Structure 1
C-alpha cells in the first residue's frame, strides 16, 4: 500500500472513532427524555439499519444481495460483536463503574492483535505491543481510573467487562473476513440488520407514544443512528479494509480522548493533569502504530 493510501486509511479510522466519541451527546438527550440504556442501544441499531437499507436500496440495490452462506460473517459482526459487546458493556457499568467498564472495553485492541495473529497471520511486533501498552495506560488515565483509591470490584463485572472488549474486537475480525468479498457498505448494513433482528425481540422494548411525540427526540434518534453509528462504522470499516485489523483497532482508541474533550467543551468538565498525560499517551500510540518497520533490501 502506498504511503498516501495508508494515511487515508488511518484518517478514515480516526474519523470513525471520533464520531463514536460524540455518542454521549445523543445518549444524554435520550436518557433525559426517559429512554433506558437498552432502549437507546436498540434505537441506535434499528435506526442505523433502516437508514442503511434505504440508502442502498436507492443508491445501488445490488449491494443488498448477499450469499446466504456468508451470513456467518454478519452474525459475527452484528450479533457476536454489536449485540454481545453492548450487553457486556452495560452490564459491566452496572456491576463496577463507568470508568472501569470503559477501560475494560478498551482491552479490545489487545484481543484484536491476538486474534489477528491467529486468523490473519498479522505479525505481533514490539511496536504493536508498545502501542497497546501506551493505549491501556493512556485510557486508564483519561477516564480517571488512575490515580485510584481503595475500590472493591465485582469479579463478575470484571469478567463481563473483558467480554465487552472481546466482543468489541470481534467486529474487526469478522468485518475483515467479510470485506474480502463484500463492499464496506454491505458489511455495515447487514451488521445492523442482523443486530436488529436479535435486539428487537430480546430487548423487550416498549416505548410509549409520548416519548416519541417530540421532534427533538426524533432528531436525536436519527442523529444517534447516523453520526456515531452508521457513518462512524462506515468510515471505520473502509479504513479496516485498507490496513491491518490490529493497527485499525489501536488507532480507534482515539474515541475516549474525543469523548473526554467533548465533555470539556460541551459540558464544562475540567481536565486533570493525569487526563492530559493520558491523552498524550493515546495520541502517541496512534502515531506509533502508523509507522511500519523499514526492511533493509538484500544486497
Structure 2
C-alpha cells in the first residue's frame, strides 16, 4: 500500500513539474522576460520554502559559512542558468521540445560522474548516451530534414538547460553529504533569489503585477511547480528507491508534451515523438544500470 502511495507521490510531483509551461507562458504573454520569470520562480519558491522551514524545522537553517560554495553551485551555477535556459528554450522552440531537451541531463550526469567521481562508464551507459543523442536529433528535426527543424539558438538553450540541470545533481550530491535535503533546497533558492534579483529588472515591470492572471501564474510557478513538486517527489523518495523514482519521473516530458498539444496547440511530427520515446528510454536504461549496481554492491 505504501509503495503504491509512493508511486502516486512521484507521479504528482512529476506532473506538477510537467505543467510548468502553463505558468511560464502566461508570464511571457503578460510581458515578462525569461530572466524575470527565473527571478519570479526563485523568489516565490524561496519565500514559500523559507516560511515553511522557519515554522516547522528551523534547525535545518543552520549551516557553516564555509559551505556557502556548495549553494553557490546549486543555486547560482545550476538553478539560475538551468531555469534561464529552460524558460528561454520554451519561448524559442516549444514546451514539448524544450522539455525533452532538458532530459539530456542524465547523459551529462553520467559523463560528469565518470570524470569527477570515477564512476564506471559501462556499456549500458554508453548505449544510453547514444540513444539520447539520436533521440535529440529526431526531436530537434535535424534528421529527417523537415520544416519543423528547431533553430540553433533553441537547440543550444535546450541542451544548456540539461547541462546546468545536471550540475545540480553534482553539487547537490556534495551538499547532501553534509545537510538535509530540505536544507539544500532552501539555501539553493535563497542563493538563487539573491543572485538573480539585481539583474532581473523586475522593478521596471511593476505595472505587470496588477494583472490577476499574473498572480495565479506566480503562485502556480512557485508553489505548484516548485515547492509542492519537490515535497511530493521527496516524500515518494522516502518510500521507494531513487532509481525507480527517476524512471517514474520521466512522465514529466510526457505531461509537458500533452500540455503543449492540448493547451497551446503545439504539434510534433511522428519522428519527434520517436525522439521523445528514445530520450525517455535512455533515462530508464541509465537508472536500471544504477539499480543493478546498487544491488550488486
Name the TM-score class by shorter chain: 0.7 to 0.9
Structure 1 length-normalised TM:
0.77
Q: Does 1:115 align with 2:112?
A: yes
Q: Residues 288, 106 of structure 1: CA spacing in aligned structure 2 closer, same or farther, 3 A cutoff?
A: closer
- Rounded to whole Å, the distance in 1 between the matches of 2:5 and 2:222 is 25
Aligned to 1:193: 190
Q: Does 1:24 align with 2:53?
A: no
The 8 Å contact of residues 105 and 165 in structure 1, kept in 2 or not, is answered as yes
- Rounded to whole Å, the distance in 1 between the matches of 2:132 and 2:248 is 9
Q: Give CA-to-partner distance per residue, 1:76-99, whole Å, 9 cap, x none.
A: 1000101123344566778x7558
Q: Does 1:59 align with 2:56?
A: yes
Give the superposition deviation at 1:216: 3.0
Give RMSD over aligned pairs: 3.8
Query: Residue 145 of structure 2 aligns to a residue in which SS?
Result: coil
Q: Which has the higher helix share?
A: 2
Q: Residues 256, 143 of structure 1: CA spacing in aligned structure 2 closer, same or farther, 3 A cutoff?
A: farther
- Rounded to whole Å, the distance in 2 between the matches of 1:216 and 1:88 is 24
Question: Could you tell which deviates more after superposition, 249-258 or 190-199?
Answer: 249-258
Q: Give CA-to-partner distance per residue, 1:155-191, whole Å, 9 cap, x none.
A: x876666544322211011111111121111111111
Choose from 44, 47, 65 the match for 2:44.
47
The 8 Å contact of residues 92 and 101 in structure 1, kept in 2 or not, is answered as yes
Q: Residues 84, 102 of structure 1: CA spacing in aligned structure 2 closer, same or farther, 3 A cutoff?
A: same
- Rounded to whole Å, the distance in 2 between the matches of 1:233 and 1:266 is 24
Aligned to 2:170: 173
- Rounded to whole Å, the distance in 1 between the matches of 2:218 and 2:179 is 28
State how 1:1-299 maps to structure 2 within 5 Å.
16-89=13-86, 97=93, 105-142=102-139, 144=141, 146-149=143-146, 162-234=159-231, 239=237, 243=242, 254-291=251-288, 292-293=291-292
Question: Could you tell which deviates more after superposition, 142-151 or 18-27?
Answer: 142-151
Structure 2 length-normalised TM:
0.78
Q: Residues 9, 179 of structure 1: CA spacing in aligned structure 2 closer, same or farther, 3 A cutoff?
A: farther
Give the superposition deviation at 1:111: 1.7
Give the superposition deviation at 1:51: 0.5
- Rounded to whole Å, the distance in 2 between the matches of 1:152 and 1:261 is 19
